[in-house]
Amino acid sequence: MRNDRLKIVFVLCLAFVSTGGQHLESKVVQLLQDEAEDIKCFVEGKDLTCFWEEEEERNNLHDQYTFTYSYENKKKMACVVSSLSLLASNKTVFFCKLPKTPFFTTLVVQVYRDAQMLYSRSLNAENFLFLDPPRNLTVTNSGKEGQLNVSWLPPPLKYMDDSLIYEVRYAMEGSNMGKVEVIKVSTMLVLLGLQSDTRYKVWVRVKPDGVAYKGYWSAWTEPVFGVTQPGDMDPLIVVLVLFIGLILCLLSLTVILSHHKFLLKKLWPDIPTPEHKFPGLFTVYKGDFKEWMSQNNGSIWGRSVHVYAEELPSPLEVLSEVSLTGHATSQREERKPVEEEEEKESERSDSRLTDRWREPPHAHWLMEQLRALQDNPESLSQSSLLQSHDTYVTLNQGDNERQDDDVFEETVPLQTLFTTAGTSSLSTSRSDLGSLQQSSGSGRLSSQSSFEYPNHTWPPKGPGYAYMAVADSGVSMDYSPMSSSRIAELGKHRMYTNDYKNDIFPHKWPLSGQHIKSGSGSCTGTVW
C-alpha cells in the first residue's frame, strides 16, 4: 500500500515536472541567449530558479555541483541541484529552485564544484521576474471602421497586477511588418488606424513595469486573428463625386453643342465633290461635259484655276518666231503678262493642267498662229529678237529633216497641249508629249515634267539665236544664257524621259496624250 502511494506520488511528480519542465525549458532556452551572466536566474511565480551550463570539457556525471545562497548576512543555505537536457541544442544545464525565495533583499548565490567555487552572483529576486504570457487574448470588431478591440487577462499573480506593462503587436495577415503598442496596467486596447476589411494578427506579451518589480519580457502569446469591418463609402464623398460628374457632363455637353458643326466636320467630313466647281454641270447638263463647256466658255474656270495653289498657271504662249535682226512678225500678237512669268516660277509640273485649262481662251488665237506657221514654214528657221522678258515658247513645227536626236538639255518644261484641226503639217513626231529634262544648274529638282521626244531635235537656230536656259526647281527659276554652240552641243544628246513626279498629272497623261497625238512640236523656252 505504501508502495502504491509512492508510485502515485512519483507519477504525479513526473507529470508536474514534465509540464513545469516545458515552461522551464522554454525560459531556459531564451535566457541562455539573452543573459550573459554565468549563473542565470529568473523568478517564475514566487520561486527563484538559477541555472548554469555544463562545462564542455567535463562530461563526468559524477561531478558534484553545490548551490548555496544566503541573504541578510545569515548563514548559507543549500539548494538541491537538478539537471535538464535541452532537446533543441543538445546541451545540459544544471538548475536549482530556491524553496522559499526571499524578495526585496540581496541574495548571494554561489555554485561550487567539488568544494571549489565556480560562479558567484548577488542579486535581488524581485528584479528578475520572468512572467508567463498573458492569457485569454481576444480580438473583436469594435463596430467602427478601421478599429479592433483587443483584450486579455494578466498572468496569475498576486500583488503585481498594477505594476505590469504590456506590449501588443499587430500585423496584417501574411505580412511580417507589425506595429507595436505599449500599454500600462490596462488589459485592453483599441487598435486604431487599421485598413478596413482586412485580417489582422495580434500578439501580446507582458513585463513588470520596473518600478517595484523588474524582469524579462514574457514570451508572445499565440496569435489571434481579427477582421476589421468593411469600409463604407463616406456618403459625403459619394455625393461630391456625383455632383462633380454632373457638372463635367453639363460642361462637355455645352461645349459639344456649341461647336457641333465644327466637330461634325472633323469627325464626319463631307466627301468632297467637284460639283461646286462646275456650276450646273450635274444639275443642268446632266454630266454632259461638252455641252457644259460650250455653254460656260470657261470663264469660270479661269477663275477657279487660280484657287489651286499647286496649279499655278504656267502659261504657254506660242508665238511665231521672230528674228534677231528685229523683224517682228505681225503674227506675234500677245505678250504674256509679267504675272504669268511669276506664275511660271512655281511648280512647272502643274503647267500642263494649267495650260490645258487655259487653252480655251487662247485656243482660237493659237489655231490662227498655227495656220500661219503652216503657211510659212520657213519662218521657223528665222529667229527674231524678242523684246520682252517673258518666257516664250517657240513651237518647232518639227520638220521631217530634223531627225537628229538632239536634246535640249535645259529647257522650260512646258507642255504644249493644243488641239489642232489640221495636223498634217504637224505630224512629224508621234510622240505624245515633249519630254524635257528639267534640271537646274544648282541641281534642285522638286518637280519635273517629262516630255517624250525621241525623234525630236532641237534645231540650232543659228548664231542669231540667243537661248536662255531656264532651270526650274519648282520654287525658283535659274536663268542662264546659253550660246548657240552650247545648244548645238546639247542638241546632240539624246533626249530622255523622266518620270513625272507630280501626282496630279499621271491621270491626265492619257488625256493630254490623246490630245497631242495628232501632232506636237519641240519646245524651247527663251527668256530675254
Q: Are 520 and 431 in contact, with CB atoms under 8 Å apart?
A: yes
**Residue from the set 73, 116, 273, 330 that interacts with another protein by CB under 8 A:** 73
Nearer to another protein, 43 or 96 (CB): 43
The per-residue b/e assignment along 222-236, b for 16 or more CB within 10 angstroms, e otherwise, is ebbebebbeeeeeee
Nearer to another protein, 211 or 271 (CB): 211
Note whether 212 binds another protein by CB under 8 A.
Answer: yes
User: Which helix (H) or strand (E) covers residue 111, if one does?
Assistant: strand 106-113
Helix axes 351-375, 508-516, angle to 10 degrees: 0
Task: Please provide the size of the chain in residues.
Answer: 528
Shortest Å distance, C-beta 36 to another protein: 21
* Other C-beta atoms lying within 10 Å of the C-beta of residue 299: 10
User: Of 68-76, 175-183, 327-335, 422-430, which part binds another protein (CB under 8 A)?
Assistant: 68-76
Note whether 89 binds another protein by CB under 8 A.
Answer: no
User: Of 65-73, 110-118, 322-330, 493-501, which part binds another protein (CB under 8 A)?
Assistant: 65-73
Note whether 78 binds another protein by CB under 8 A.
Answer: no
Site string for another protein, 226-255 (x = CB under 8 A): ------------------------------
**Residue from the set 10, 104, 243, 289 that interacts with another protein by CB under 8 A:** 104
Binding to another protein (CB under 8 A) within 390-449 occurs at none
User: Of 98-106, 334-342, 491-499, 518-526, which part binds another protein (CB under 8 A)?
Assistant: 98-106
- Please work out the total of residues on this chain that contact another protein, with binding judged by CB under 8 A: 20
**Residue from the set 2, 100, 276, 507 that interacts with another protein by CB under 8 A:** 100
User: Of 70-78, 175-183, 198-206, 305-313, which part binds another protein (CB under 8 A)?
Assistant: 70-78
Note whether 75 binds another protein by CB under 8 A.
Answer: no
Q: What does the alpha-carbon distance between residue 519 and residue 374 come to, in Å, rounded to a whole number?
A: 13
Shortest Å distance, C-beta 31 to another protein: 23
Q: What does the alpha-carbon distance between residue 325 and residue 322 come to, in Å, rounded to a whole number?
A: 8
Q: Are 431 and 452 in contact, with CB atoms under 8 Å apart?
A: yes
Shortest Å distance, C-beta 128 to another protein: 14
First to last CA, the chain: 151
Shortest Å distance, C-beta 223 to another protein: 33
Residue-by-residue DSSP string for 326-375: S---TT------HHHHHHHTS-GGGHHHHHHHHHHHHHHHHHHHHHHHHH
**Residue from the set 49, 94, 126, 407 that interacts with another protein by CB under 8 A:** 126
Least Cα distance to 478 among 322, 344, 386 occurs for: 344
Shortest Å distance, C-beta 123 to another protein: 12
Shortest Å distance, C-beta 206 to another protein: 18
And the C-alpha cell for 104?
526585496
**Residue from the set 115, 211, 271, 309 that interacts with another protein by CB under 8 A:** 211
Nearer to another protein, 102 or 454 (CB): 102
The per-residue b/e assignment along 253-267, b for 16 or more CB within 10 angstroms, e otherwise, is eeeeeeeeeeeeeee
Note whether 106 binds another protein by CB under 8 A.
Answer: yes
Shortest Å distance, C-beta 161 to another protein: 9
Shortest Å distance, C-beta 233 to another protein: 46
Shortest Å distance, C-beta 180 to another protein: 24
The per-residue b/e assignment along 8-31, b for 16 or more CB within 10 angstroms, e otherwise, is eeeeeeeeeeeeeeeebbebbebb
**Residue from the set 29, 35, 84, 102 that interacts with another protein by CB under 8 A:** 102
Nearer to another protein, 102 or 146 (CB): 102
User: Of 103-111, 289-297, 351-359, 397-405, which part binds another protein (CB under 8 A)?
Assistant: 103-111
Q: What does the alpha-carbon distance between residue 158 and residue 241 come to, in Å, rounded to a whole number?
A: 58
Rg (CA), the chain: 58
Burial of residue 297, with CB atoms counted within 10 A of its CB: 0-12 exposed, 13-18 middle, 19 or more buried: exposed
Least Cα distance to 416 among 511, 317, 491, 331 occurs for: 317
Nearer to another protein, 67 or 213 (CB): 213
User: Of 67-75, 198-206, 274-282, 498-506, which part binds another protein (CB under 8 A)?
Assistant: 67-75
And the C-alpha cell for 407?
536634246
Least Cα distance to 313 among 347, 286, 262 occurs for: 347
Q: Are 82 and 65 in contact, with CB atoms under 8 Å apart?
A: no
* Other C-beta atoms lying within 10 Å of the C-beta of residue 91: 15
Note whether 387 binds another protein by CB under 8 A.
Answer: no
Site string for another protein, 135-164 (x = CB under 8 A): -----------------------xx--xx-
Q: Which residues pair with 472 in a beta bridge?
A: 477
User: Of 21-29, 69-77, 136-144, 325-333, which part binds another protein (CB under 8 A)?
Assistant: 69-77
Least Cα distance to 131 among 105, 102, 98, 165 occurs for: 165
Note whether 124 binds another protein by CB under 8 A.
Answer: yes
**Cell 541641281 identifies what position?**
443
Binding site for another protein (CB under 8 A): 46, 71-73, 100-106, 124, 126, 158-159, 162-163, 211-213
